[in-house]
Structure 1
Amino acid sequence: MAGALTTTFLGHQVSNPFLNAAGVLCRTPEDLLQLASSVSGSMITKSCTVEPREGNPEPRYAAAPYGSINSMGLPNLGFEFYKQFAVEHRGKLLFISVSGMSMDENVKMAKDLLPVAKETGCIMELNLSCPNVPGKPQVGYDFTTMREYLQRVSSVYDAPFGVKLPPYFDIAHFDQAAAIFNEIPQVAFLTCVNSLGNGLVIDVDTETVAIKPKDGFGGLGGRYILPTALANVNAFYRRCPTKLVVGCGGVYSANEAFQHILAGASLVQVGTALHEEGPQIFQRVVDEFALLMRAKGYNTIDDFKGKLKTL
């Protein structure tokens, strides 16, 4: 039955639709080696900047009752490290996440990554939704700026790439964002969603916040965000028929992964649960998913992808 989980993404065959969420188990060489040797169908690197970054002060991640809160601040080893990893990587499909501190940084990294992408088959994901860098607003919430980012990046990157999106909450914003993505042919997929920005988790016993940066404000992940993630996946699946959607948010088991794919996701990222359980989670979810498909009588993922019923 495991073969039934095989799917294709932008012409690449993957053994299953599961991968890590950018930011989880993907910053260091050791992290990436663990992902490469896991049973995930593909993998993505930590969102990188041109220069290495230490990120925000610790503690910057904490478990919470229904998931997690983090304010990492883009700790990464710098673009050149991840680009070289792409050059040397063999095996499963690799996504390279870039999240420059400015438009010019993103354009520079895209331009430098293009020949590597064409040579190795790696795929760029442009993160326009990092909510945890002090003083840096999310580009994904400024539609005029987001259009300019995508126009400039696509002018130097003539290969398919994706965009990591923040969660949207208004139907009009779904419409406006989708119109921008539909204008840019190179935007081939949309990853929905990044963490739910600027939540606050409070410890009643100590009467303190859970993390140090930004006075405790940080991005929520895990079960907190599943319904919001599903809504964004389905909203963009409906509005961007020529684009693929990657689901991210609240996946702990085959049940949530099935919901993402039913809503329209082609691949499904695992974040908080991967952080909690480790890379062995991919074997568990793959096994569960095969059983769920069998129980429902589905032979391939395409039998149910995007076929969510409304009342």
Structure 2
Amino acid sequence: MNFHIDPPLLNSANPWATTKADLQALYDCPYTGAITTRTSVEGGFGHNDTIHQYCFFDDKDHRVKHHSVNGATQSPITTPEGSTSSLNTLGYSPISVQLYLDIISSIIRTSETPAKPVIFSVTGTPEETVSYYRLLYAAQDRLSIETAANVTFMMEINLSCPNIAGKPPPAYSKAALLEYLDGFSNLFSEDMESPPPLLIGIKTPPYTYQTQFDEIISALLDHCKGDRSLITFITATNTLGNCLLLDSTAAPALNSSTGTGIGGLAGSALHPLALGNVATLRRMLDAHNELKHIDIIGVGGVSDAAGFQRMKNVGASAVAVGTALGAEGIGVFEKIHNGVWAKKAGSNSTSAVAVRTAS
């Protein structure tokens, strides 16, 4: 295992991890072992309230419970526990990679919370992702010296957003995926025997048939240094694209950049597919010595202790929460944490975070 997050519970890259206030609350929460920024790009994404939207809906009757006014943080809503799904036509964060780095640096400098890992979710061209790595690695070193703390940054390359018109998720194609993986080849020595100094991961879309899993495994095997892949974690999964929700007038519940209202599905409705992806990836990674070290952050429909445990049971090293955070607010982490650890005799989980890097 390349990293250990304690507790192994965090947020996914989502609209409720957009602003400094969002990230401060997530960082200060004693029930998160790490935090993730919303996916960002160089210069920030051109958010437009009229086409970048989300809503929560009931799994049973598909009734819309809450519709976003914009793509940023919204107040939590009251929902029946474990029954909420979401649909979104959002793009990426309007906040740039550099600004997120400034925000996180400020939080770390001023927070009384023990240092916990921060996953920067980023996307862009292969060349841009390499430049983000250099930026974050240098900042990690500076902050560690400045604060005399174990500052740990990780970089998640989001190759799976289904809502960008004309840009299909690269992680569905081995050739496209290799363009990103190969971009890091020159950063590390050929005989590398341990993880890179700043852990690199990829966020994958929901795969629905075996060939898609074969493609990603083949790409990872082609992208090894020495006897291991440079990729140290996979976040699985992102939202499921090409989904549609209708309102009471039979019109699309959301607008979108294509005008169709078709977007990405998340929350409870995605949970079985997300579990299948984590289980299949774990099994296939473990079949290759070069890939066994890759950890999986399980995402998709987790809203309670039972969902957390299901993700752990199928091979997730850590579990991230998205839709339930938007629906229930920051308290969802305490609910999950207490549901999992309070039942253990002599519960020894704490708010402290430990990350272990192993060869």
TM-score w.r.t. the length of structure 1 is 0.86
Report the CA distance between 1:239 and its aligned residue.
1.4
SS of 1:189 mapped into structure 2: strand
In structure 2, the partner of 1:234 is: 279
1:284: which partner in 2? 335
Equivalent residue letter for 2:312 = I
The residue that corresponds to 1:303 in the other structure is none
The size of the alignment, in residue pairs, is: 287
- The percent identity for this pair of structures is 30
Question: What is the CA distance between 1:148 and its match in structure 2?
Answer: 1.6
Matching residue within 143, 157, 177 for 1:146? 177
Secondary structure of the equivalent of 2:16? coil
**What secondary structure is seen at the aligned counterpart in 2 of 1:136?**
coil
Query: C-alpha displacement at 1:11, in angstroms?
Result: 4.2
What does residue range 60-139 of structure 1 map to in structure 2 within 5 Å?
A: 60-66=53-59, 67-90=85-108, 91-100=115-124, 102-118=125-141, 119=144, 120-139=151-170
Contact 2:47/2:94, CA 8 A, preserved across alignment: yes
The alignment status of 1:264 with 2:315, answered yes or no, reads: yes
Alignment gaps of 5+ in structure 2: 60-84, 109-114, 145-150, 189-195, 286-291, 350-359
How far the C-alpha of 1:283 sits from its partner, in A, is 0.5
Whole-angstrom distance in 1 between the partners of 2:316 and 2:253: 32
Q: TM-score, normalised by structure 2?
A: 0.75
Higher helix share: 1
Cα deviation, residue 56, structure 1: 4.0
Instruction: Provide closer, same or farther for how the CA distance between residues 298 and 178 of structure 1 changes in structure 2, counting only shifts above 3 A.
Output: farther
The 1:256/1:291 distance shift into structure 2, 3 A limit, reads same
Deviations 1:143-184 (A, max 9, x none): 111012111035347432111000111112212212222433
Q: 2: distance between equivalents of 1:227 and 1:130?
A: 19
Q: 1:50 aligned to 35, 42, 52, which one?
A: 42
CA contact (8 A) 1:57 1:212 kept: no
AA matched with 1:42: A
Amino acid of the structure 1 residue aligned with 2:262: F
In structure 1, the residue corresponding to 2:179 is in which secondary structure? helix
Structure whose alpha-carbon radius of gyration is higher: 2
Using the TM superposition, give the Cα deviation of residue 293 of structure 1 relative to its aligned residue in structure 2, in angstroms. Answer: 5.3
Q: Are the counterparts in 2 of residues 86 and 116 from structure 1 also a CA contact under 8 Å?
A: no
Aligned position for 1:3: none
User: Which structure's relative contact order is higher, taking Cα pairs within 8 Å and 6+ residues apart?
Assistant: 2
Find the residue that maps to 1:208 and give its secondary structure.
Answer: coil
Does the CA contact (< 8 Å) of 2:2 and 2:294 recur in 1? no
Aligned to 2:209: 170
